[in-house]
């Protein structure tokens, strides 16, 4: 990696260009090392104002300090309770330590909230109270009283999706536009079942956390293996899978498929190609491994969930690591796909469902829908700064939210709690906090009980209404 970085730096010098990190680094270096330059710009900028200060990284904060050194007229605005971007370098200590760095600074708390009802703010204030590293403050409402937030326990993720879809249609019937509603979640994979349910019901939506679930490359890759087992003459599926195999390019992939489609037993044809050494040397091993995997998958046709697990464990997880920086999140997507497939007793039933949903555009709703009216599905990180009349937060269970990757230390848990606070404070009128009671996983050999998120367990029961789902809530 160090060698690649050195080549990258050299290439930038040759092209006389800088990337964003260079802009920060070289500015910081100039200001730090050249006193004359520092004084020149310090005098030029008599007042320095910084917004969203809680999202600055260490070097940005030091640049601000250096520019403010001459006059010390520095104003920073930020909300420590909304510091949620440590994964991209934001340094929470910048805002927290500001009064210690500048002892003569005055601190003004902006506590008047014009967005949310008193009930939503009451819950949000109680949420963030459990963090120890913060400027303690209490949001005070301007708006009149409304409904209490609802905490909704669903049997599983499928019932959670049914409840959200049903409630959305009810609220739309009551006068809310889909544009005024959002469903928020901790990670993209948590939207899969909901996307399926919304599509079934013809509720149009836009996904702001990435591509629609089944449009993602890694989902299409794994499904392609299953499609080959179902239909060994599926050329698109074959070529998608073959391009993943090391040493197999377009020409070799086409050659393999030509042999496969001419044979009454396609998998045996692939095996013969390997045995007869008709493929390039670097493709032999890959083709052999693929053939063996397809034969194993053929034996597992009654369990599409197990088939997905087999594809992942037969090298696709390693492929993700070498190809995608966000391989961990993509693996979670695939695990959730396997969990979803657990309810299907045959491969054809599973693939038929995916095909049906793929054909449905979910672009129509009940008569009277306005053009471009769409529900928003978003990760909480991408929802920061936005607001909706109605907000659903889903997957509020341990390991889902807070994330299982954030349970190791207190600082990570406090950032997860700030993320929950951000989610709650996106809502203006209605807030629904949902979680599944049961999980279903081929990776855990069946069903298991989920614990509600610690953030829900911390809440004062007087701040919300508990909802126990019945059939009327779901359909």
Q: Are 81 and 384 in contact (CB under 8 A)?
A: no
Give the domain CATH number at 329: 1.10.486.10
Choosing from 108, 127, 150, the residue where a domain stops is: 108
d(CA 85, CA 383): 12
Judgement on whether residues 332 and 429 belong to the same structural domain of the protein: no
pLDDT beyond 60 at 359:
no
pLDDT tens track for 132-152: 999 999 999 999 999 999 999
Residue 193 has which token pair? Answer: 């079942």
d(CA 86, CA 52): 14
Judgement on whether residues 226 and 338 belong to the same structural domain of the protein: yes
Judgement on whether residues 232 and 339 belong to the same structural domain of the protein: yes
Judgement on whether residues 104 and 130 belong to the same structural domain of the protein: no
Three-state DSSP class for residue 428: strand
d(CA 400, CA 381): 15
Task: Name the residue with tokens 């500015």.
Answer: 27
How many distinct structural domains can be found in the chain? 3
The percentage of residues in the chain with a pLDDT greater than 70, rounded to a whole number, is 94
Q: Is residue 113 part of a domain?
A: no
pLDDT band of 368, cuts 50, 70, 90: very low
Q: Are 212 and 281 in contact (CB under 8 A)?
A: no
Judgement on whether residues 412 and 446 belong to the same structural domain of the protein: yes
Q: Are 201 and 169 in contact (CB under 8 A)?
A: yes
Residue 205 has which token pair? Answer: 């939506």
Choosing from 79, 108, 137, the residue where a domain stops is: 108
Beta strands at 181-185 and 205-207: parallel, antiparallel or unpaired: unpaired
Three-state DSSP class for residue 399: strand
d(CA 291, CA 314): 12
Whole-prediction pTM: 0.79
Lowest-confidence pick of 106-110, 127-131, 209-213, 244-248: 209-213
pLDDT band of 281, cuts 50, 70, 90: confident
Residue 106 neighbours by CB under 8 Å, 6+ apart: none
What residue numbers bound the domain in which 99 lies? 1-108
d(CA 116, CA 429): 6
Q: What is the length of the chain?
A: 475
Higher pLDDT, 105 or 285: 105
Other beta carbons less than 10 A from residue 200's beta carbon: 16
**CA-based nearest residue to 378, from 168, 182, 171, 202:** 182
Judgement on whether residues 220 and 200 belong to the same structural domain of the protein: no
Judgement on whether residues 260 and 308 belong to the same structural domain of the protein: yes
Judgement on whether residues 452 and 377 belong to the same structural domain of the protein: yes
Mean pLDDT over each residue of the chain, to the nearest integer: 90
Q: Is residue 365 part of a domain?
A: no
Q: What is the pLDDT of residue 441?
A: 65
Contacts of the segment 93-98: beta carbons below 8 A, 24+ positions apart: 94/53, 94/54, 94/56, 94/57, 94/58, 94/61, 95/53, 95/54, 96/133, 96/134, 96/135, 98/53
Q: What is the pLDDT of residue 256?
A: 87
Q: Is residue 128 part of a domain?
A: yes
Q: Are 331 and 377 in contact (CB under 8 A)?
A: no
Q: Are 196 and 377 in contact (CB under 8 A)?
A: no
How much is the average pLDDT of 416-422?
97
Give the domain CATH number at 84: 3.40.50.300
Q: Are 427 and 388 in contact (CB under 8 A)?
A: yes
Judgement on whether residues 20 and 69 belong to the same structural domain of the protein: yes
**CA-based nearest residue to 87, from 381, 335, 323:** 381
Q: Is residue 262 part of a domain?
A: yes
pLDDT beyond 70 at 371:
no
Three-state DSSP class for residue 233: coil
Choosing from 355, 381, 413, the residue where a domain stops is: 355
The percentage of residues in the chain with a pLDDT greater than 90, rounded to a whole number, is 66
Q: Is residue 86 part of a domain?
A: yes
pLDDT beyond 50 at 343:
yes
pLDDT tens track for 156-192: 999 999 999 999 999 999 999 999 999 999 998 899 8
Residue 118 neighbours by CB under 8 Å, 6+ apart: 141, 143, 144, 145, 146
Residue 230 neighbours by CB under 8 Å, 6+ apart: 301, 347, 348, 351
């Amino acid at each position: 990696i160090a060698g690649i970085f050195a080549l990258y730096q050299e290439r930038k010098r040759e092209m006389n260009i800088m990337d964003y990190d260079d802009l920060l680094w070289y500015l910081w270096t100039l200001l730090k090392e050249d006193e004359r330059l520092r004084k020149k710009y310090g005098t030029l900028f008599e007042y320095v104002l910084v917004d969203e200060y809680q999202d600055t990284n260490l070097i940005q904060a030091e640049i601000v300090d250096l520019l403010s050194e001459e006059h010390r007229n520095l104003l920073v605005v930020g909300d420590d309770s909304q510091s949620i971007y440590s994964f991209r370098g934001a340094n929470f200590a910048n805002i927290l330590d500001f009064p210690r760095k500048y002892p003569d600074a005055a601190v003004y708390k902006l506590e008047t909230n014009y967005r949310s009802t008193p009930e939503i703010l009451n819950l949000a204030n109680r949420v963030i109270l459990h963090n120890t590293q913060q400027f303690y403050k209490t949001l005070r409402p301007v708006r009149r009283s409304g409904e209490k937030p609802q905490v909704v326990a669903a049997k599983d993720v499928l019932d959670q999706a049914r409840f959200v879809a049903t409630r959305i249609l009810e609220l739309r019937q009551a006068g809310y536009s889909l544009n005024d509603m959002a469903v928020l979640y901790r990670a993209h994979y948590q939207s899969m079942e909901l996307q399926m349910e919304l599509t079934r019901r013809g509720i149009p939506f836009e996904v702001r956390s990435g591509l629609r679930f089944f449009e993602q490359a890694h989902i299409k890759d794994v499904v392609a293996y299953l499609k080959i087992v179902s239909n060994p003459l599926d050329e698109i599926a074959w070529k998608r899978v073959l391009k993943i195999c090391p040493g197999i390019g377009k020409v070799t992939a086409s050659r393999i498929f030509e042999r496969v489609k001419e044979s009454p037993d396609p998998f045996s044809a692939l095996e013969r190609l390997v045995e007869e050494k008709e493929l390039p040397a670097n493709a032999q091993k890959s083709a052999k491994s693929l053939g063996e995997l397809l034969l194993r998958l053929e034996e597992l046709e009654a369990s599409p969930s197990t088939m997905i697990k087999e594809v992942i464990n037969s090298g696709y997880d390693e492929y993700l690591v070498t190809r995608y920086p966000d391989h961990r999140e993509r693996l979670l997507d695939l695990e959730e796909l396997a969990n979803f497939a657990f309810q299907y007793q045959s491969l054809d039933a599973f693939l038929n469902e995916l095909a049906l949903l793929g054909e449905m555009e979910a672009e129509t709703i009940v008569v009277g829908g306005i053009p471009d009216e769409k529900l928003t599905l978003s990760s909480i990180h991408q929802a920061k700064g936005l607001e909706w009349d109605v907000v659903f937060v889903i997957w509020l269970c341990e390991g889902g939210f807070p994330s299982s990757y954030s349970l190791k230390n207190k600082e990570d848990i406090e950032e997860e709690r700030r993320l929950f606070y951000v989610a709650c404070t996106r809502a203006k009128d209605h807030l629904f906090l949902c979680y599944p009671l049961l999980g279903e996983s081929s990776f855990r050999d069946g069903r298991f009980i989920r614990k509600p998120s610690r953030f829900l367990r911390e809440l004062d029961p007087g701040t919300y209404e508990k909802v126990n789902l019945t059939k009327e809530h779901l359909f």
